[in-house]
């Protein structure tokens, strides 16, 4: 009964979304307040209905109702409760339902918290958001219904992929979707503004917090997925340039660009059509990701069971939404007036350069990801594009970007003083050069690019730090005054400081872990010792351990360095009984300078020893720490009152000491 109710309310939500996307839009056109007033309650009701449907499916998973096909093929009674619940979105149908839930959730959030929007804009945003809802809900109901029954009901389910039975991966999709789908809202804002024919500073100010939230979630989701790959796949790698990883990275790059261009639109009333364009593109890339994963046009380790009907539907959705938006953009875009005039050396100039690089980077990743498809369709054979392409294209583009990231925050709007800025950054530049040379001469003579990576990391970190100190006038005014002004710094500037420093730390981690990884593969018997990166690993024993639904082979390593360092690592190899499948559970011990990483493999029949893989992954914890700082930056910036307070004055010339009135 609960299942049928879940199905039923899902149908109702589609009708509600249809109502929300049509009647209020007609209302705006006719200037009819009664019709317009439907939008907000409809958005909330739509959300509640989808939530009900989602809970019904979750219920089926929790009680293991195997008469539901979706539960049968993705769950099992032997699974721990957490993974029964995460099984709801661990498959195509359920994950689309989560998509729809989040989509309507953002709509409901606008209905509830969008009080300071102009009434017509609010109604139009909700209308566009509901149009997306109609598309996605129809997709679920017509091609991917999670509520279908099977008769007779099987005894037990066929289990969730044991690789996915992991806390990191249980929360990876919801976070990622909060990011992906969060971009739907900026898309709706962009389309609503195009319909309205007006984009002003107030519009940009409303869009910014939503972009920021989506960006933060997307960052968190990508990093969680990467972290999972790092400890679960057992190769010590964390990014593989797989099409599906790229599918999440491209919207991230576009969202990062959007985040910055919307600042220019807000503060300087400039770059407006570009910001609109980016908002459309960012969501378009999100939809593209969904299409790639679910249509089977590209081979990927992540791909869901592919189904051409679904592919056709999503492609249609993509073409109608993004094509429609671009058509509107072609029609209305040219009339968006831009009045902010500025010198190339200015904060606008820096932000535009950043946008340019991010966009080109996203485009080249798109090209690399789709290239195999292009070649295939043109009957030129089968190719695959791997990490070498992406690295050789992406890395060089990041070099100028990070250099500019150090400089641009110092520049003033409209016209920056280049000489004054370079004076401030002289010391930082020298320190970075020394750091880079040190790495090149002392650590590793073979990789100039990696030395450059470290130098850039130092550059960005210290430049961001100097920018902070110059904002609070450290050492220029009495320390007490500096401390007072540190408290008065707007939260949004703190967000920038945190995010940029986070990136600097992550760059160091990425550079070091991809260049100076130490790897050792060998057969070890009990008592054997291996020395990796100065640490001595002794294999103490290997024993069988019974888990809830698997049997594990657990290796016990004692790791020593000098007299003071002594830790035990316990990697496992798990064999799941419900599916004949084996997973590796790497044992990781993080130190400040890197991760000790051990994996235990099969027994070697000849020698009676075990195959072990031991890695030293330098600075990997820095990468995670940097990413956390970036997400934290977004969160801090979101708490800034200015993001929530209504229509702003054009405060282009906010001085550093301006106090935000509470």
CA dihedral 148, 151, 152, 153 (to 10 degrees): 10
Query: Considering beta carbons, is residue 68 or 281 the nearer one to other proteins?
Result: 281
Decide if 500 contacts 405 (C-beta within 8 A).
yes
DSSP β-bridge partners for residue 542: 555
- Non-local (6+) Cβ contacts of 607 within 8 A are 523, 525
For other proteins, the binding residues in 601-630 under the rule CB under 8 A are 605-606
Decide if 482 contacts 592 (C-beta within 8 A).
no
User: In this structure, what token pair is assigned to residue 620?
Assistant: 């990997």
Query: Considering beta carbons, is residue 383 or 647 the nearer one to other proteins?
Result: 383
User: In this structure, what token pair is assigned to residue 172?
Assistant: 């990876």
Strand order in the sheet with 587-591: 518-524, 610-618, 594-603, 587-591
Under rule CB under 8 A, residue 322 binds other proteins: yes
Query: Considering beta carbons, is residue 79 or 294 the nearer one to other proteins?
Result: 294
Under rule CB under 8 A, residue 305 binds other proteins: yes
Under rule CB under 8 A, residue 330 binds other proteins: yes
Give the C-alpha separation, 253 to 115, whole Å: 30
From residue 88, alpha-carbon distances to 100, 398, 494 in Å are 13, 38, 38
Under rule CB under 8 A, residue 550 binds other proteins: no
Contact with other proteins (CB under 8 A): which of 580, 649, 659, 661?
Answer: 580
Min dist CB 581 to other proteins, Å, is: 7
- Non-local (6+) Cβ contacts of 339 within 8 A are 269, 270
Ranges of beta strands (E only) in 516-633 are 518-524, 529-532, 535-546, 550-561, 565-569, 572-576, 581-585, 587-591, 594-603, 610-618
Contact with other proteins (CB under 8 A): which of 40, 100, 298, 556?
Answer: 298
Min dist CB 128 to other proteins, Å, is: 18
Q: Which stretch binds other proteins (CB under 8 A): 326-334, 350-358, 403-411, 465-473?
A: 326-334
Min dist CB 66 to other proteins, Å, is: 17
Site string for other proteins, 228-267 (x = CB under 8 A): ----------------------------------------
Decide if 403 contacts 459 (C-beta within 8 A).
yes
Helix (H, G, I), strand (E, B) or coil at 570: coil
Contact with other proteins (CB under 8 A): which of 82, 312, 434, 448?
Answer: 312
Min dist CB 205 to other proteins, Å, is: 24
| DSSP H helical ranges for 31-157 | 33-36, 39-62, 69-74, 81-86, 92-113, 119-143
Q: Which stretch binds other proteins (CB under 8 A): 99-107, 368-376, 614-622, 645-653?
A: 368-376
Decide if 520 contacts 533 (C-beta within 8 A).
no
Decide if 495 contacts 637 (C-beta within 8 A).
yes
Site string for other proteins, 415-454 (x = CB under 8 A): ----------------------------------------
Contact with other proteins (CB under 8 A): which of 11, 30, 148, 319?
Answer: 319
Query: Considering beta carbons, is residue 329 or 342 the nearer one to other proteins?
Result: 329
Contact with other proteins (CB under 8 A): which of 323, 344, 400, 646?
Answer: 323
Query: Considering beta carbons, is residue 220 or 234 the nearer one to other proteins?
Result: 234
Query: Considering beta carbons, is residue 142 or 374 the nearer one to other proteins?
Result: 374
* Residue of 559, 632, 630 lying closest to 591 (CA atoms): 559
Under rule CB under 8 A, residue 377 binds other proteins: yes
List residues near other proteins by CB under 8 A. 273, 277, 280-281, 284, 291, 295-299, 305-306, 308, 311-312, 315, 318-319, 322-323, 326-327, 329-330, 333-334, 370, 372-374, 376-377, 382, 580-582, 605-606
């Amino acid at each position: 009964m609960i299942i049928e109710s879940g199905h039923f309310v899902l149908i109702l939500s589609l009708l509600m979304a249809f109502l929300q996307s049509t009647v209020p839009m007609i209302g705006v056109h006719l200037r009819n307040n009664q019709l317009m007033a439907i939008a907000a309650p409809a958005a909330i009701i739509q959300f509640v209905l989808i939530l009900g449907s989602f809970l019904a499916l979750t219920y089926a998973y929790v009680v293991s109702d195997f008469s539901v096909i979706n539960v049968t093929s993705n769950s099992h009674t032997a699974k721990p409760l957490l993974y029964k619940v995460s099984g709801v979105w661990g498959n195509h149908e359920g994950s689309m339902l989560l998509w729809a839930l989040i989509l309507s959730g953002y709509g409901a959030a606008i209905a509830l918290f969008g009080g300071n929007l102009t009434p017509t804009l609010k109604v139009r945003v909700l209308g566009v958001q509901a149009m997306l809802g109609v598309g996605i809900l129809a997709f679920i109901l017509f091609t991917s219904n999670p509520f279908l029954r099977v008769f007779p009901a099987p005894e037990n389910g066929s289990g969730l992929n044991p690789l996915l039975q992991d806390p990191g991966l249980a929360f990876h999709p919801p976070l990622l979707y909060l990011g992906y789908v969060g971009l739907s809202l900026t898309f709706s804002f962009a389309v609503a503004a195009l319909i309205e024919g007006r984009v002003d500073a107030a519009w940009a100010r409303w869009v910014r917090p939503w972009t920021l939230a989506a960006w933060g979630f997307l960052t968190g989701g990508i990093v969680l997925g990467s972290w999972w790959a790092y400890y679960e796949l057992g190769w010590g790698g964390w990014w593989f340039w797989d099409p599906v990883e790229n599918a999440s990275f491209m919207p991230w790059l576009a969202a990062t660009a959007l985040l910055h261009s919307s600042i220019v639109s807000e503060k300087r009333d400039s770059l407006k059509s570009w910001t609109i364009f980016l908002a459309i593109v960012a969501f378009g890339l999100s939809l593209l990701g969904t299409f790639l994963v679910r249509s089977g046009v590209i081979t990927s380790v992540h791909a869901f069971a592919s189904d051409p009907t679904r592919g056709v539907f999503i492609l249609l959705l993509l073409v109608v939404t993004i094509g429609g938006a671009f058509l509107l953009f072609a029609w209305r875009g040219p009339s968006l007036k831009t009045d902010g005039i500025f010198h190339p050396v200015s904060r606008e100039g820096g932000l535009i350069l950043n946008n340019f690089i991010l966009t080109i980077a996203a485009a080249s990743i798109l090209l690399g990801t789709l290239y195999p498809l292009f070649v295939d369709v043109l009957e030129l054979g089968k190719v695959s594009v791997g990490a070498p392409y992406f690295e050789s294209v992406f890395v060089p583009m990041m070099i100028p970007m990070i250099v500019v990231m150090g400089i641009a925050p110092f520049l003033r709007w409209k016209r920056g003083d280049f000489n004054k800025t370079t004076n401030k950054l002289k010391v930082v530049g020298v320190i970075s050069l020394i750091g880079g040379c040190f790495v090149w001469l002392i650590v590793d003579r073979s990789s100039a690019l990696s030395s450059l990576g470290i130098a850039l990391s130092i550059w960005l970190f210290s430049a961001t730090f100097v920018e902070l100190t110059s904002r609070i006038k450290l050492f220029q005014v009495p320390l007490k005054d500096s401390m007072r002004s540190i408290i008065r710094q707007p939260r949004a500037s703190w967000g920038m400081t945190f995010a940029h420093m986070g990136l600097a730390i992550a760059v160091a981690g990425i550079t070091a872990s991809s260049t100076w990884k130490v790897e050792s593969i060998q057969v070890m018997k009990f008592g054997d010792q291996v020395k990796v990166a100065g640490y001595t690993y002794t294999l103490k024993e290997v024993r069988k351990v019974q888990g809830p639904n698997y049997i594990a082979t657990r290796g016990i390593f004692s790791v020593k360095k000098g007299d003071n360092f002594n830790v035990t690592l316990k990697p496992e190899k798990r064999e799941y009984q419900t599916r004949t499948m084996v997973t590796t559970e790497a044992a990781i011990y993080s130190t400040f300078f890197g991760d000790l990483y051990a994996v235990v493999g099969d027994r070697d029949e000849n020698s009676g020893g075990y195959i072990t893989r031991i890695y030293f992954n330098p600075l990997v914890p820095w990468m995670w720490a940097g990413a956390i700082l970036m997400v934290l930056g977004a969160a801090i910036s979101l708490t800034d009152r200015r993001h929530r307070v209504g229509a702003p004055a054009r405060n282009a010339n906010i001085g550093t000491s301006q106090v935000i009135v509470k």
